[in-house]
Structure 1
Amino acid sequence: MDRTEFLASLLAGGVAGMCVDLTLFPLDTMKTRLQSPQGFYKAGGFCGIYAGVPSAALGSFPNAALFFVTYEYTKSVLGSCVSTNKAPLIHMLAASLGEVVACLVRVPSEVVKQRAQACPSLGTYKVFVDTIRHEGILGLYRGYGSTVKREIPFSLIQFPMWEFLKAVWSWKQNHVVDSWQAAVCGAFAGAFAAAVTTPLDVAKTRIMLAKADSTTATGKVLPVLCSIWKTQGISGLFSGIVPRVTWISLGGFLFLGTYDKVHKVLQ
């Protein structure tokens, strides 16, 4: 990856991330409150739907930029030494590595954002200060493992599907897809990946919102999923699926479409 490609991936990813996170923030808030253990209305209902937005605003650019720089770099390195028929495997590995790196920024941002969303009366700054005071820096990384376990399966589905849909569409029309077509492919890939990985997202939310001394706060995904299954059944595991799929399908359209457009312009 040369310097131009690096800067294009960095800026395009950052712009795309901010565009999605800030535009669709209310849907994310509703999803978090639906997944909250105290229930939608006790977590704030439809009030204060922009609670936690400063955290999202600060984290979205570096989070998305880190992901796409890692993703494109890994693709360029592996693509030069692996045959083209193994492209889906390259995309899977590149997306997985991208998520591991991006979560270093995403998780602290998510912890503060989701706690502010579930308790809008506190405010983002107070949530951040309280987390540091009571749990230290590691408190900001509670749920890192569960977030990675959610994001890697999500990316293993979304990005190979996105690349595949673009390749098929390009083949059918005999030229590279336009940015709006890349956005449509991103919407379909994102919606499917979001639906399949909703239980992992519910577990991640419960871990981040749990009290510091609770069993859930230890971050073990499987026990959390089993507990939700026992107490709420299948509906509990898929709580928030409608706003999640809506948010991520729209987000996939904006995120991957914006990324494709900005990346082409910068190159």
Structure 2
Amino acid sequence: MDPGGIVSSSGDGSHIAIPDALAFKNIKKQINGTCGTVCVKQDDPCQTLRVLYESLIAGGLAGVIVEAALYPIDTIKTRVQVARDGGKIIWKGLYSGLGGNLAGVLPASALFFGVYEPTKQKLLKVLPENFSAVAHLAAGALGGAVSSIVRVPTEVVKQRMQTGQFASTSDAVRLIIAKEGFGGMYAGFGSFLLRDLPFDALQFCVYEQIRMGYKLAARRDLNDPENAMLGALAGAVAGVLTTPLDVIKTRLMVQGVGTQYKGVSDCIKTIIREEGSSALWKGMGPRVLWIGIGGSIFFGVLEKTKQILSERSQKGHNA
């Protein structure tokens, strides 16, 4: 036997020596290939964990970049929505509360995609192919519902800071809890869900559907500018359709202990009675601009990050 190789027998009884390095490389490829097949075909935890890991990182990064880049537009939108009777819009302090907001956006965005991507992939497997929109709608709504646990307190503090009620994020959290109890951190929770569940479902369904159609028409994968363009379109459409819900959510979140509005229905009735139905569309321009640009950045960063992580994972898998 050749000590420098692995010996195998051929059909006629002769022996062929295979170098160790080549043998081990082939064995490793076979094992890796088998593992990959098991992960895909049997829905092994290794595949699920990889999707979850990539989704958490890509979603968190995309969310933070969008918030940091477009925070001033969001501040203007909030101030326009709370202004009454031609009230003056304050243009100073457009970055007020940014630091605390980013601290909440990172885990909220990561949590959203940690739920959205695995749910979407699971539903796409079990539902008929022509029901893909249902999978996207359901996954978006579920992701929004779960992440609202973090997003609502973050949004409450952010909007109170944007309207100049507090000097710092720590003061905002401390004083809200002191004056309104812990429940004050979840002020407008129902209106938030009323706005964000339809928004998340619509935005991601529109994006996924037009992206699928675009890829079929182009017969290739989309490039970065194309992903950004489709993200902007999806964000703008969802932003327009949910503007009245956003106005209601903002009014309820920033009212504090004054309780001007007793709930969603009372808020709608009061706004229409005192300001007219057009007030429900306040801030639509800044909102659509913010979400449109944000959608282009968000989905552009999201797809690019997912691509990079997938390529790195593939390289490690084939090594």
TM range (shorter): over 0.9
Match status 1:16 vs 2:62: yes
Question: Which residue number corresponds to residue 65 of structure 1?
Answer: 110
* 2:203 aligned residue (158, 167, 176): 158
Q: Partners in 2 of 1:256 and 1:41 — Cα distance?
A: 35
Match status 1:255 vs 2:298: yes
Q: Partners in 2 of 1:18 and 1:39 — Cα distance?
A: 34
Identity value in percent: 37
How large is the RMSD of aligned CA atoms in angstroms? 1.6
> TM-score, with normalisation over the residues of structure 1?
0.94
Matched-pair contact (CA < 8 Å) for 1:52–1:123: yes
Q: Deviations over 1:85-136 (max 9, x none)?
A: 1000010000000000111111101101100110166332222211011112
Q: Partners in 1 of 2:165 and 2:181 — Cα distance?
A: 22
Deviation larger for 29-38 or 242-251: 29-38
> TM-score, with normalisation over the residues of structure 2?
0.79
Summarize the Cα distance change of 1:176–1:107 in structure 2 as closer, same or farther, 3 Å threshold.
Answer: same
Gaps of 5+ in 2: 1-46, 311-319
Question: Which residue number corresponds to residue 78 of structure 1?
Answer: 123
Question: Which residue number corresponds to residue 31 of structure 1?
Answer: 77
Q: Partners in 2 of 1:154 and 1:39 — Cα distance?
A: 28
Q: Partners in 2 of 1:177 and 1:132 — Cα distance?
A: 47
* 2:238 aligned residue (183, 193, 210): 193
Matched-pair contact (CA < 8 Å) for 1:10–1:66: yes
Choose between structure 1 and 2 for higher RCO, CA contacts under 8 A separated by at least 6 residues: 1
SS at match of 1:24: helix
Q: Partners in 2 of 1:153 and 1:68 — Cα distance?
A: 16
Q: How does 1:118-137 map to 2 (within 5 A)?
A: 118-119=163-164, 122-137=167-182
Matched-pair contact (CA < 8 Å) for 1:51–1:120: no
Matched-pair contact (CA < 8 Å) for 1:182–1:260: yes
Question: Which residue number corresponds to residue 52 of structure 1?
Answer: 97
Q: Partners in 2 of 1:9 and 1:211 — Cα distance?
A: 35
**Aligned amino acid, residue 229 of structure 2:** V
Q: Partners in 1 of 2:304 and 2:139 — Cα distance?
A: 20
* 1:147 aligned residue (192, 202, 212): 192
Gaps of 5+ in 1: none
Question: Which residue number corresponds to residue 266 of structure 1?
Answer: 309
